[in-house]
Amino acid sequence: MKKINAEDLHNQIRELPGGPDSSLAYFARRESLTGSIRNLLTGAGFAAADYPVIEPTELFVRKSGGGITGHLYSFIDPGGNKVSLRPEFTSSVIREYLKEPMSTEIAVKRQYSGPVFRYSDVSTGNTLRQFTQQGCEIIGASTTDLDAEILRLSLAALSEAGIKSVTVRLGNVGAIRKLLESYGLSEAICLYIFSNIGKLNQSPENLKDILSHAVSLGLVKENEPRSNSIEEDGSKEESMELVQSLMAEILSGNTGRRSRSEIVERLLKKNSELICVDVLESSLQDLSGFLRRMAGDYKSIEVKSNNDIIDIEQMKYVSDLINVVGDIGGMEVTFDLDFASQRGLTYYTGFIFDLVVGTASGPLSLGGGGRYDGLVRSLGGDRNVGAVGFAVNVDSAIRYLDTVG
């Protein structure tokens, strides 16, 4: 064997930060844990399957929206296809489910395990860009019992790793949507609110910024007296003439396939459909109150008969969920309500949860999951199908155990 000199060492290509531990000892430890979790899930009726490491980029963007693009390892392959290394498994599981005739009678149970890839800033030394994700999905049914089964299995998976204490942060995207829809908000505005829910929950002082930004984006219109509106007491034809004269220069030249009149009519229609900013403000104030009331240790939250119906419904759901989950042998579990959680808000439709442990640098999520009844249709199915699942970060769990001894 050639002896490596100092110059050869200097010229060696270093590994990228954020990769897994490649030692034999660590590999054996990880394989043992994933094997234990696989046996747990197999015993619960989940069939193991393998899924591609490289997938069409669109598969992940459709599921998680444009926000995920900054975390994808994406490239164009020699065939001209836009592809990405998988950042998670759920999209692939659903895509495979859609290959079979859709049935509403039998729930499909699948489990998976393998490396996933997410670009992130690893300057702190705590973030993995490649890690082993393991979990399962139930597709084809929607009940509280199945939600509880997924939550119980996720806790049991961490118990298999040797974790003795965990906090479950529970939220529900469906409850927030129900509150917002009571104000007649459009899907675009709901998505905008979801993207700002953390900011809203952080401080009520942020409400003004959220409202002004919504106006600047054209999602809502200013509160104007009717005398200042585009259409006053005159006819639609007069309004169109006014807008056309005001926007003649803007709309001059190439307007594509639509005529100038058609474009103006679309603008008028959009303006008439926009809600006023005071409606958005009322909905955000209502939401902010809900987030504050329904936050903290589940046992410390008291809901009275005169509370909002959404509060009462959610506390009953959470109570039923926790009762069905039951005790996880040898594990101390605390349930916190956190309806401001931003876990996958663009595709989750019901309950969501994070599995959190405490560290010297703050809370650390080891996994989570929730219900996503709209993803099947979003990825090409002809209808919404009940679906729920969880995934844990095996490498983060092992690293955490190393820090606590």
Order of strands across the sheet that contains 54-56: 54-56, 82-85, 74-76
Asked whether residue 100 is domain-assigned, the answer is yes
CA 230, CA 245: separation in Å to the nearest integer? 13
Asked whether residue 367 is domain-assigned, the answer is no
* Cβ neighbours for 252, distance < 8 A, ≥ 6 positions apart: none
pLDDT at position 219 is: 87
Asked whether residue 148 is domain-assigned, the answer is no
Q: Which of 240, 255, 273 is the last residue of a domain?
A: 273
Asked whether residue 9 is domain-assigned, the answer is no
Q: Which of 254, 273, 292 is the last residue of a domain?
A: 273
Report the alpha-carbon angle 47-51-55, nearest 5.
150
Q: Are 152 and 138 in contact (CB under 8 A)?
A: no
Q: Is the pLDDT of residue 80 over 60?
A: yes
Q: Within this chain, do residues 131 and 234 fall inside the same structural domain, yes or no? A: no
Q: Is the pLDDT of residue 258 over 90?
A: no
Q: Within this chain, do residues 130 and 226 fall inside the same structural domain, yes or no? A: no
Query: Quick one: what percent of the chain has pLDDT higher than 90?
Result: 52
The total domain count for the chain is 2
Q: Within this chain, do residues 235 and 122 fall inside the same structural domain, yes or no? A: no
Q: Within this chain, do residues 30 and 129 fall inside the same structural domain, yes or no? A: yes
CA 23, CA 20: separation in Å to the nearest integer? 9
What does the pLDDT look like over 350-385, one tens digit per residue? 999 999 999 888 899 999 999 999 999 999 988 899
What does the pLDDT look like over 334-343, one tens digit per residue? 999 999 887 7
Average per-residue pLDDT in the chain? Answer: 84
Asked whether residue 189 is domain-assigned, the answer is no
According to DSSP, residue 123 is labeled T
Asked whether residue 86 is domain-assigned, the answer is yes
| pLDDT band at residue 203 under the 50/70/90 scheme | confident
Q: Is the pLDDT of residue 270 over 60?
A: no
In the numeric block, the tokens 């046996």 are attached to: 39
Q: Is the pLDDT of residue 49 over 90?
A: yes
pLDDT at position 195 is: 85
Q: Are 90 and 137 in contact (CB under 8 A)?
A: yes
CA 66, CA 323: separation in Å to the nearest integer? 37
CA 386, CA 371: separation in Å to the nearest integer? 8
| pLDDT band at residue 15 under the 50/70/90 scheme | confident
Asked whether residue 134 is domain-assigned, the answer is yes
pLDDT at position 310 is: 85
Q: Are 351 and 171 in contact (CB under 8 A)?
A: yes
What does the pLDDT look like over 120-170, one tens digit per residue? 876 655 578 999 999 999 999 889 999 999 999 999 999 999 999 999 999
| pLDDT band at residue 232 under the 50/70/90 scheme | very low
Q: What is the DSSP string of 147-187?
A: HHHHHHHHHHHHHHHT--EEEEEEEEHHHHHHHHHTTT--H
Q: Within this chain, do residues 233 and 137 fall inside the same structural domain, yes or no? A: no
pLDDT at position 227 is: 41
Asked whether residue 379 is domain-assigned, the answer is no
Residue 23 sits in a domain of what CATH number?
Answer: 3.30.930.10
What is the value of pTM for the model shown? 0.82
Range of the domain at 36: 17-142+386-399
